[in-house]
Structure 1
Amino acid sequence: MGDVDDRWCLVTGGRGFVARHLVDMLIRYDIYSVRIADVAPVIELETYEEKGNLGQALRSGHAEYVSMDVRNKSQVFRACDGVEVVFHMAAPDSSIDNHQLHYSVNVHGTKNIIDACTVLHVKRLIFTSSPCVVFDGKRGIIDGYEAMPYPAKHYNSYSSTKAEGEALVIKANGINGLLTCCIRPSSVFGPGDKSFVPSLVSAARAGKMKFIIGNGKNMYDFTYVENVAHAHVCAERALASGGTVSKRAAGEAYFITNMEPIRFWEFMSLILDGLGYERPKIKIPVFVMMLIVHLVQRLYQILASYGMEEPQLTPSRITLLSCNRTFSSFKANDRLGYRPIVPLQEGLKRTIESYSDLSAEVFLKMKGPSKAAVCLGNGIVANILLWRDTKLTFSTMLILFGFYVNFVVPGYTMITAICNVFIIASVFLFIHRKLPEKLMGFSIEKISESKFQITDRMSRETALSVVSLWNNAAYSLKVISSGNDSMLFFKTALSLSIFSLIGSMSLQSFFSKVLPFAFIAFYIYEQKEEEIDAFFQSVLPPGLSQKSMNKNE
């Protein structure tokens, strides 16, 4: 291997998500001492880093940290001085819509790195690019290959400036003996990511991950972060090999994937399911989402000056969520010797385990039941009206609609309607039981008696719901009788008035007005509980107590 102390490599953006994994891998492989460059004045290690390879390497002198902004040429030259290899990974957050920032880092910053490498006789430069350099934001890509041209127009500043930076690095190959190549990792995931999984969990907690945009069949290439780090090492080793291997590897770009394409929404579901959240199930056609997005963008143009926040969803993001995006890593395998070292399912397992603190179980323990759930008894009724079990909610709505059309609209009394339901059910079950096992070549599955039995779990949930409602009412009466909570008195009086109004309604009005409102109102209140409570606090007289607003019994 040679004397590691005399051989240094530089990792720019070295405190980023992928870069941390690369730094750890470089330290473990012990080929180079590692110089970590990032914009922070000093390096602040997390506990696991302090106790791990990085902390030990920093203490032993096999790693060091330098504060560097790639836009500052003098800082770049100081950081590159004496290094043999540069892994240029520094880049702004791709979600930030700031062309000047992206251009200054991805283009000017990359020029500074290239200048330093050529002047200081750095031997190898590996640039971290992205598959977005060949994506136009409109058309999907299936099994994309490196010979694909850059689109005439990119869909955002990050993509266009990354393409410019990549082109500069490829063009620099051979200048003063510098060997270069570009790595294009596809949809990176794994432990330590502070964007993808946390954002996904945040959306799930807000009830925004119930929907699938498109038909849910679009394929994606996701890449486990350790495989991306491994690809960088493979690229550096190929460039360092000399001879034909170096010549074939240099001056090229390479797609890096896990080589295991998967449906995009299945991947999302596996992460959500692993953390205890509901899988997205409701499919929304792409053209419907596009209409909504264009409408919201139009509203933003009108209301931006009045403080409306910029919408998160854009037409290009809708395309990203609904199109195919798969790439071939054959070239990387052929010229760099790259093969994934961590399979997709193992990567998913490690990722889910690393985010155990974001699981639904931990979140519910910290948050406790919502006020809407408490009001509904936190049982099966809550699961239905709060859309916690989408299948159960839709089934309930379908049954209620059928009951409304067949028994309420004709004007039957409640007793007559219920009796008719039982008569129809009895006739159906009688005929169904008399049917043969097979009819016209079709098997007829008999309904077992257990289907009509109430399970222990259902009985416990129902009992708990009743008891919870009763205890909540008793507690409220106790607090009201003390005379210390005017707010609770106001809410109780309002609730009783609403129940009184509902009680005076006809059955048809109840089904057509109250039930649809219940399916919407409770769900909205649970999602926007803090905002709604804050609104009531602002409009109600200041003398009313806030105790009940803050309680969650």
Structure 2
Amino acid sequence: MEQVNVLVTGGCGFLGTAIVSALLMTKRFSITAIDINPPSLGSSTFPTEVRYVRANVLDVEGLQKVFDEAKPAMVVHTVGVYPLGAARYSMKGKDVVFKVNVEGTRNVLQAAKECGATGLVYTSSVTVVLDKLDQDFKNVDETWPKGNVDTSYGLSKAMAEDLVLSSSTHDFSTCALRSAPIFGPTDAVVIPTIHSLIALGQTPFVLGNGINLQDYVYVDNVADAHVLAVANLLNSQTAAGEAIFVTNGEPITIRDLCLAIWKEFGHVPSFTVHVPERLAWWVGFAAEWGNWVTGTESILGRGTVSDGCRDRYVSITKARRILGYRPKVSLGEGIRISCVHYKKKLADRSKR
């Protein structure tokens, strides 16, 4: 069987690497992975059967040249800027976020069409709907309105998603996969952030009532969804023009998620203190002022409190129906695998 050319943007990133691996496992695809920092020749970290190319989604001319040389039939676009800290919950630093997430996506779409690609799968986010920080979202589906959000990230992803889905035609089919927060091996956000609370002595504290549910997704499950979407757009095209939520399908309280992660590191809080949401909000406000005065940044802030005290989970019925998506790695198993990897990373770091 002749292999289909697929180009993955951000192919050396956390999710991009997993998507490349998942595509390789099918043995159906010839892969070009572009990244702003591709591996050096002879690197043993990345698969040798993949062609890695340096490219910047903001460099229109250079990007087009890479696409023209690769001649992909399908494009998977994962590149995006995800603000951390206080900027995650505001419009702070929005210029860079919008430039990469919106204009970068526009450039990728243009390059894909110009080179003759037949379709594109876009890595979107649940934040296009859920980033209204003072609102609960329970069992949300794709009919809910998007873009009415408080953050630069959520708004930029919504705008980019509009660009992608409005580009879908019979000759160039597109879809958008709205991923929940992703965790897994090499995860730089979820596992490290929750683990850091042990050393900070903050594990006894529960914000709000502690019973609100939120969605997460293991990285290999998201990667599988992207492979299913690529196959769909190459064949039945029932996903064309569609936005689709992708999660583990296992909403969990943040407290239970934290306890499961801490347990993997041998830590169980000896007592529990429930902090009312309003009090936590004022503590977050004070922490932000302290950060401003000292020039540092803590995990706690008003955005963290608002986000952490809300219900934020969605339905994956559409992903199951259209893509045939089934999360292969459970939340519990994903946590175990991720923590084993992070423990090894911490041990290696302590030896240096």
Tell whether the structures are fold-level matches, with TM greater than 0.5.
Answer: yes
Query: Which secondary structure state, in structure 2, belongs to the residue aligned with residue 11 of structure 1?
Result: strand
Q: Is the 8 A contact 1:117 1:178 kept in 2?
A: no
Q: CA offset at residue 45 of structure 1?
A: 8.1
3-state secondary structure, aligned to 1:209: coil
* C-alpha displacement of 1:314: 3.1
Cross-structure match for 1:269 = 259
1:145 to 122, 129, 141: 141
1:95-131 residue CA offsets vs partner (Å, 9 max, x unmatched) = 1542111111111000001111222221110000100
Q: CA 1:45/1:331 → structure 2, altered by over 3 Å: closer, same or farther?
A: farther
The structure in which a higher percent of residues are strand is 2
Classify 1:29/1:76 alpha carbon distance in 2 versus 1 (closer, same or farther; 3 Å): same
CA contact (8 A) 1:219 1:324 kept: yes
1:180 corresponds to which of 167, 174, 177 = 174
Selected match of 1:308 from 281, 290, 295: 295
Over 3 Å counting, the alpha-carbon distance change for 1:155 and 1:45 in structure 2 is farther
The residue aligned with 1:417 is: none
Determine if the alignment matches structure 1 residue 116 to structure 2 residue 129: no
| Aligned twin of 1:12 | 9
Identity, % of aligned pairs?
Answer: 29
Quote how far apart the aligned CAs of 1:151 are: 4.3
5+ residue gaps, structure 1? 368-553
Looking at structure 2, the residues matched to 142 and 69 of structure 1 have their Cα atoms a distance apart, in angstroms, of: 37
| CA distance in 2 between partners of 1:193 and 1:294 (Å) | 28
Q: Aligned partners of 1:337, 1:149: CA distance in 2, in Å?
A: 24
Letter aligned with residue 9 of structure 1: V
Q: Is the 8 A contact 2:207 2:280 kept in 1?
A: yes
**Partner in structure 1 of residue 195 of structure 2:** 201
Query: Which residue of structure 2 lines up, in the alignment, with residue 169 of structure 1?
Result: 164
- Counterpart Cα distance in 1 of 2:339 and 2:309: 24
TM-score, structure 1 normalization: 0.58
Q: Is the 8 A contact 2:147 2:158 kept in 1?
A: no
| Distance change >3 Å, CA 194–CA 45, structure 1 → 2 | farther
2:208 alignment counterpart: 214
Query: Could you tell me how far apart the structure 2 residues matched to 1:116 and 1:358 are?
Result: 38
Does the C-alpha gap of structure 1 residues 343 and 190 become closer, same or farther in structure 2, counting only changes over 3 Å?
same
Q: C-alpha displacement at 1:294, in angstroms?
A: 2.6
Give the counterpart letter for 1:210 in structure 2: P
Shift of 1:42: 4.3
In structure 2, C-alpha distance between the alignment counterparts of 1:163 and 1:46, rounded to whole Å = 36
1:339 CA drift (Å): 1.1
**Equivalent in 281, 295, 299 of residue 290 of structure 1:** 281
The superposition leaves residues 385-444 of structure 1 with CA deviations (integer Å, 9 ceiling, x where unpaired) of xxxxxxxxxxxxxxxxxxxxxxxxxxxxxxxxxxxxxxxxxxxxxxxxxxxxxxxxxxxx
Aligned pair in 2 of structure 1 residues 344, 45: CA closer, same or farther (>3 Å)? farther
Quote how far apart the aligned CAs of 1:310 are: 4.8
- 1:43 deviates by 4.0
> What code does the residue aligned with 1:156 have?
T
Inter-CA distance 323–226: structure 2 relative to 1 (3 Å threshold)? same
Matches within 5 A, 1:151-162: 151-152=147-148, 154-162=149-157
Cα distance in structure 2, aligned partners of 1:318 and 1:44:
45
Distance 1:107 1:319 in 2: 26
Partner of 2:327: 340
RMSD: 2.3
Q: Distance in 1 between matches of 2:175 and 2:41?
A: 31
Q: Any conservation in 1 of the 2:6–2:29 contact (CA below 8 Å)?
A: yes
Distance 1:87 1:311 in 2: 34
Deviations 1:108-167 (A, max 9, x none): 000001111222221110000100111211112110101110243x22211111111011
Residue among 48, 51, 56 paired with 1:64:
51
Distance 2:163 2:319 in 1: 20
Segments of 5+ residues of structure 2 without an aligned counterpart are none
Q: How many residues align?
A: 341
Distance 1:3 1:126 in 2: 21
Q: 1:79 offset after TM fit, Å? A: 2.6
TM normalised by structure 2 equals 0.90
Q: Which residue of 1 aligns with 2:239?
A: 249
Q: Offset at 1:230?
A: 0.4
Deviation per CA, 1:342-372: give whole Å up to 9, x if none.
Answer: 222222222222222367xx69xx69xxxxx
2:165/2:241 contact within 8 Å kept: yes
Mark the structure with the bigger radius of gyration.
Answer: 1
Does structure 2 conserve the Cα–Cα contact (< 8 Å) formed by 1:235 and 1:336? yes
Indicate how the Cα distance of structure 1 residues 45 and 352 shifts in structure 2: closer, same or farther if over 3 A, else same.
farther
1:317 to 304, 317, 321: 304
1:19-55 deviation per Cα after TM superposition (whole angstroms, max 9, x unaligned): 11111111111111111111116448875x35xxx1x
- Give how far 1:190 is off: 1.2
CA distance in 2, matches of 1:311, 1:92: 20
Q: Is the 8 A contact 1:275 1:358 kept in 2?
A: no
Instruction: Confirm or deny: 8 A CA contact 1:155 1:316 kept in the other structure.
Output: no
1:22-171 equivalence runs, <5 A: 22-40=19-37, 42-43=39-40, 49=45, 54=47, 58=48, 62-81=49-68, 82-95=71-84, 97-135=92-130, 136-152=132-148, 154-171=149-166
CA distance in 2, matches of 1:38, 1:209: 37
**Residue-by-residue CA offset, 1:177-204 (whole Å, 9 max, x unaligned):** 1100000111211112122212222232
Determine which structure has greater relative contact order: mean sequence separation of CA pairs < 8 Å that are 6+ residues apart, divided by chain length. Answer: 2
Letter in 2 for 1:142: K
Q: Distance in 2 between matches of 1:44 and 1:277?
A: 42
Q: Structure 1 or 2: larger helix share?
A: 1
Residues 138 and 277 from structure 1, CA distance in 2 versus in 1: closer, same or farther, beyond 3 angstroms? same
Aligned equivalents of 1:211, 1:255: Cα separation in 2: 31
How far apart are the structure 2 equivalents of 1:89 and 1:45?
24
| d(CA) in 1 for partners of 2:276, 2:42 | 45
Name the SS of the counterpart of 1:134 in structure 2. helix
Letter in 2 for 1:93: Y
Indicate the SS of the match to 1:129.
strand
Distance 2:299 2:198 in 1: 15
Q: How far apart are the structure 1 equivalents of 2:294 and 2:220?
A: 42
CA distance in 2, matches of 1:220, 1:257: 10
* Cα drift, residue 276 of structure 1: 1.5
